[in-house]
């Protein structure tokens, strides 16, 4: 199976030649066809010129250069969809991921898994600004998504191409690739990988990313649980609000009949009105969400399921899947 190594790059001029020198011997030792796909995310230093030089000297180096900086998720998405290998390995360009771990990922993948992601168990980063926020975020993500993971922030991963092509990454969703792949039915595994301190350049991440991770987590939770049927979420909230409104209304009437309390001055009356209106709005929002989900699947000719393999299946679905696989192979 051929291997593509996808590496997002943003201002890593000191690390690029060192990364190439460390990565190529590892890939040559795999005894498989390989390519190194660098995605230049609008670098403002000399990284773009260095990548062009590397591509000129080494035919295995492929370079995609963005017009401006779009972020690591966009660079990762471009690399996953442009890579030609049967297996796609992703890693950072800062030399903190160890290229020598790639054979370990591929060996685990050969056991029958669709995606293998690294765990930087011995992480060499600042505790307060990098390790502690990452630890808390990973625990929160694992609890909310019910996906067992120790280190979603590790870029070092290996994924089969058919799974990678089904991933549509937006915002800063690159951290959630294992969870999104698992949602598509991928069999995932986590292995301990090495991590080195950054020697050159500056980190592109800080504490400000924590809030973005929480917001993306909400999006991922919605995608994996409610995308196909939004009414389960919004309708449930709406019915809960209507129940609160009905209870508050009945309590208000009872207080008026038996307690001689003025209804117009009773805060429960306002609660009943607000909760009832909110309930109707959430139900309508759920209906609109259901309509949007139907449009999403029908316009893109998607199905709310994925098929791992088929045997002796004919008909329109079989021909469509065969045509899709042929197009991806080409």
Compute mean pLDDT per 10 residues along the chain, 330 residues long, and list them. 92 93 94 93 91 93 91 89 92 92 94 92 73 79 84 90 86 85 90 86 64 80 83 91 93 82 78 92 90 76 60 53 54
Q: Name beta bridge partners: 217.
A: none
* Confidence at residue 103, expressed as pLDDT on a 0 to 100 scale: 95
d(CA 200, CA 11): 10
Rounded to 10 degrees, the C-alpha dihedral 207/211/213/218 comes to 170
pLDDT in tens, 237-290: 999 999 999 999 998 888 888 876 677 778 888 899 999 999 999 999 988 888
Q: Name beta bridge partners: 97.
A: 195
User: What is the H or E stretch that residue 284 is in?
Assistant: helix 267-299
- Which residue in this structure is represented by tokens 């080195």? 196
d(CA 285, CA 280): 9
Read off the pTM: 0.76
Are 79 and 64 spatial neighbours (Cβ–Cβ below 8 Å)? yes
| DSSP per position, 85-115 | SSEEEE--SSS-B-GGGHHHHHHHHTTT-SE
Tokens (6 digits) for 219? 């999006």
Which strands form 157-160's sheet, in the order they lie side by side?
A: 61-65, 34-40, 3-9, 87-90, 157-160, 115-119, 188-192
């Amino acid at each position: 199976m051929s291997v593509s190594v996808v590496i997002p790059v943003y201002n890593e001029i000191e690390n690029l030649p060192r990364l190439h020198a460390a990565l190529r011997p590892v890939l040559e030792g795999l005894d498989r066809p390989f390519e190194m796909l660098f995605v230049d995310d609008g670098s403002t230093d000399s990284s773009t010129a260095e990548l062009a030089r590397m591509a000129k000297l080494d035919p295995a180096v492929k370079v995609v250069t963005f017009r401006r900086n779009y972020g690591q998720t966009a660079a990762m998405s471009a690399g996953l969809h442009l890579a030609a290998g049967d297996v796609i390995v992703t890693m950072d360009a800062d030399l903190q991921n160890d290229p020598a771990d790639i054979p370990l990922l591929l060996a685990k993948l050969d056991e029958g898994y669709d995606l293998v992601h690294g765990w930087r168990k011995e992480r060499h980063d600042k505790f307060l600004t990098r390790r502690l926020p990452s630890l808390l975020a990973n625990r929160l993500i694992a609890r909310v998504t019910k996906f067992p993971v120790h280190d979603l922030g590790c870029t070092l991963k290996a994924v089969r191409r058919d799974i990678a092509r089904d991933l549509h990454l937006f915002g800063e969703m690159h951290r959630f690739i294992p969870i999104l792949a698992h949602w598509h039915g991928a069999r995932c595994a986590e292995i301990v990988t090495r991590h080195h301190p950054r020697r050159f350049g500056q980190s592109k991440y800080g504490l400000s990313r924590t809030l973005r991770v929480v917001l993306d987590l909400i999006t991922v939770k919605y995608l994996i649980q409610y995308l196909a049927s939004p009414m389960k979420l919004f309708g449930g909230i709406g019915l809960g609000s209507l129940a609160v409104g009905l209870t508050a209304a009945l309590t208000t009437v009872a207080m008026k009949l038996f307690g001689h309390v003025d209804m117009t001055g009773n805060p429960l009356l306002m609660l009943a009105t607000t909760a009832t209106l909110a309930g109707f709005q959430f139900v309508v929002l759920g209906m609109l969400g259901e309509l949007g989900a139907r449009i999403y699947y029908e316009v893109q000719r998607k199905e709310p399921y994925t098929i791992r393999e088929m045997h002796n299946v004919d008909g329109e679905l079989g021909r469509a899947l065969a045509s899709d696989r042929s197009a991806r192979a080409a």
